[in-house]
Structure 1
Amino acid sequence: MRSGSIVRAGQIFSNWIVRRRPWSPTTFLLTAVAVALSTASRAGLDEAGATLSYAPFFPAILFATLVGGLPAAIFAAWLSAAVVLIGFTDRPGHEEAVNLVAFLAASALVIWLANLCRDALLELKRSELARELLLAELRHRVNNQLAVFQSIVRSSLSNEDHDKGEAIALRLDAVARANTIAWSSQRVMTLRMLLDAELQPYRASGLVAVEGPDLPLGPEAIRNLALVFHELATNAVKYGALRGDRGRLEVLLAQDGGRSSVTWRELSGHPVTPPAGEGFGTRMIRASLAAIGGSIEQDYREIGLVCRIRFDADV
């Protein structure tokens, strides 16, 4: 929890730094405030009997460099030296001149290193922005291609194969939704988000309950699990618990070490029988889970289908 708070605070501060302009009045005002705080610190140290002439001003110089670059850093160093010479030095002499030269030399080193860090941060933010723009364009093109594929499938199959064409189109739609989630601007994608996307039409009626801890997912897990849950939900609507208003679907989430599991329990109110053979949907489920190191166990009970799914969530 503490490390997460530190990371978030660092992200907020870095984003704030990026928005600052080196020559803006706000930047120089913030620099002056930082030097004023250092001056108060220096005065407090004097009261305590310390003899640190310039040390309290280094944090202000570091802050100014990170916020405003070289202009603010030079202003902070000059202002700090002026404050010490005017406000804390009675009779400037040789010793004070040596201290001033040492302070300016140390300040130059601090400014150089901090400015390197600032330039690296700005370059990183520029690269991140370019990557996000590229991903947005890629997402747009992929979703457009999936829409074209759906149209081709629907228009190419004859009336006799309409149901097959519709099933393929819906599977492509599931992939598109998964891509939208996987490429979302949110940093953490979870299993509940994916289940909500697939089961939202049925959750409002109270037919679906999802219980257990929310589990973060990697992009590959999102894309493959989207196909799995879409297929299971489609079968539940056609043959199982979601076929009428008497059924109920319970989805239980769990995690054991590095493995995640989902128990898909249908309470359909009528007996179900296993299919005569393994159809395309079942093969697709197994292939999708195999891609993320997962597996599925299907148990056809009198009250409904129970599936136990295990997979690696972080892929």
Structure 2
Amino acid sequence: MPERAPPPWRSIALGAVFGGVAVGIRVVADTLLGGNVPFLPMFPALLLAAILGGYVGGSACLVVGGAGAALFLLPVSADTLAVHLGFWTAGALVVAVAAGMADSVRKLRLSEARLGEAQAQLRTLVGELAHRNRNALFVIMAIVRQSARNAASPAEAETVINARLEALLRAQDLVVQDEGGAPDLHRVVALALAPFDRERFDIAGPPFRISAEVAAGLALLFHELATNAVKYGALAAPQGRIAVRWSVEGDGARLDWVERGGPPLTPPSRQGFGARLFEVVLRPQGGKAERRFEPEGVVCELSIPAADADAPAVAPGTPYATTLSG
């Protein structure tokens, strides 16, 4: 049985062929069967025509078979009218039942195929969810370990850890809101910088979608940059400002974070969470991040891969979390 009923013209042709063959067989066998059972070969033909051609094919077979029988086997008369009516009635029932059963079988096959596809998609989604949960746990462990190690007191550690986890949570919420799992870069930047004085940021750039993993890492990175700017950089001075601008280049985007108007800066004497974050936030996906401490302020240059850009295969969370916690 075909997966779907053929087009109407093909069903009509199929039914006509089956009807004509049935009439031909009955004419050839006339010497053996006589005139007592003129419609005997018609019913198997009706059954096949309805199964293969649906209601249209079965109806065409019924018309051709009935007309052929009336012309060549049993002319219509007052004596044979009841026989012809009986054939048309029984034939119509055969067509209706066979075509209905064929449609039910096709629908059942289609439902089974769709169920198989849904199960495959569900397995993929469960695997992706497990992958993302594993990534998130690695990152959370790294944040807690690194923040607690560098904090001067338990209270400071709690404040820093909560702030970083909130930044990560905002990024995850953004990914969930985007059904495709590829949020726009502008939304990621705006959400990460929402807790800070947005009036002092100049944010501009074209639409550019990034992957969920990149979005989570960038949210942490922008939060860390803004926090450091409040403590030591442009946001520590009343006149300081920060420009966050990007442009699309090929399959990626180049983003510049430029601080101006803050106090004089000197490079830090030790490597903290932010420095480690710069090393790994984009590297597993094929991007990179660089930071410079210029006399006018901090300058960061990011090369961000697009959501559909080819990225090297990476074990779930391993390079990212391991480097952060090292």
TM-score > 0.5 by shorter chain: yes
Q: Of the candidates 150, 153, 166, which is equivalent to residue 159 of structure 2?
A: 166
Q: Which has the larger radius of gyration?
A: 2
- Residue 298 (1) aligns with residue 291 (2): yes
Deviation at 1:263, TM superposition (A): 0.7
Amino acid of the residue matched to residue 80 of structure 1?
V
Report SS of the residue matched to 1:227.
helix
Answer with 286-295 or 105-114: which moved more: 105-114
Gaps of 5+ in 2: 14-49, 70-91, 312-326
Decide whether the 8 Å contact of 1:266 with 1:304 is kept in 2: yes
Deviation at 1:313, TM superposition (A): 3.5
Answer with 158-167 or 209-218: which moved more: 158-167
- Residue 307 (1) aligns with residue 265 (2): no
The Cα offsets for residues 52-110 of structure 1, whole Å up to 9 and x where unpaired, read as 6637xxxxxxxxxxxxxxxxxx8996543476579xx5884459xxxx9xxx9999999
1:1-315 aligned within 5 A: 54=12, 79-81=55-57, 92-94=66-68, 116-128=109-121, 160-184=153-177, 186-187=179-180, 188-202=182-196, 205-243=198-236, 246-267=239-260, 269-280=261-272, 281-314=274-307, 315=311
Deviation at 1:232, TM superposition (A): 1.0
Deviation at 1:154, TM superposition (A): 9.7
Deviation at 1:123, TM superposition (A): 2.8
Deviation at 1:262, TM superposition (A): 1.1
CA RMSD of aligned residues (A): 5.1
Report SS of the residue matched to 1:54.
helix
Deviation at 1:196, TM superposition (A): 2.2
Amino acid of the residue matched to residue 308 of structure 1?
E
CA separation of 1:155 and 1:212: change in aligned 2, threshold 3 A: closer
Report SS of the residue matched to 1:217.
coil
Q: Distance in 2 between matches of 1:124 and 1:266?
A: 51
CA separation of 1:278 and 1:313: change in aligned 2, threshold 3 A: farther
Q: What residue number does 2:19 align with?
A: none
Report SS of the residue matched to 2:254.
strand
Taking structure 1 as the reference length, the TM-score comes to 0.55
Deviation at 1:170, TM superposition (A): 2.2
Percent identity (aligned): 24
Q: Distance in 2 between matches of 1:297 and 1:112?
A: 62
Q: Distance in 2 between matches of 1:212 and 1:115?
A: 51
Decide whether the 8 Å contact of 1:224 with 1:291 is kept in 2: no
Deviation at 1:238, TM superposition (A): 1.9
CA separation of 1:156 and 1:298: change in aligned 2, threshold 3 A: closer
Q: Distance in 2 between matches of 1:117 and 1:264?
A: 53
Taking structure 2 as the reference length, the TM-score comes to 0.54
Q: What residue number does 2:78 align with?
A: none
Amino acid of the residue matched to residue 271 of structure 2?
G
Gaps of 5+ in 1: 1-34, 43-50, 56-73
Where relative contact order (Cα < 8 A, 6+ residues apart) is larger, the structure is: 2
Report SS of the residue matched to 1:298.
strand
Decide whether the 8 Å contact of 1:272 with 1:300 is kept in 2: no
Decide whether the 8 Å contact of 2:281 with 2:289 is kept in 1: no
Decide whether the 8 Å contact of 2:214 with 2:285 is kept in 1: yes
Report SS of the residue matched to 2:206.
coil
Q: Distance in 1 between matches of 2:301 and 2:104?
A: 59
Amino acid of the residue matched to residue 190 of structure 2?
D
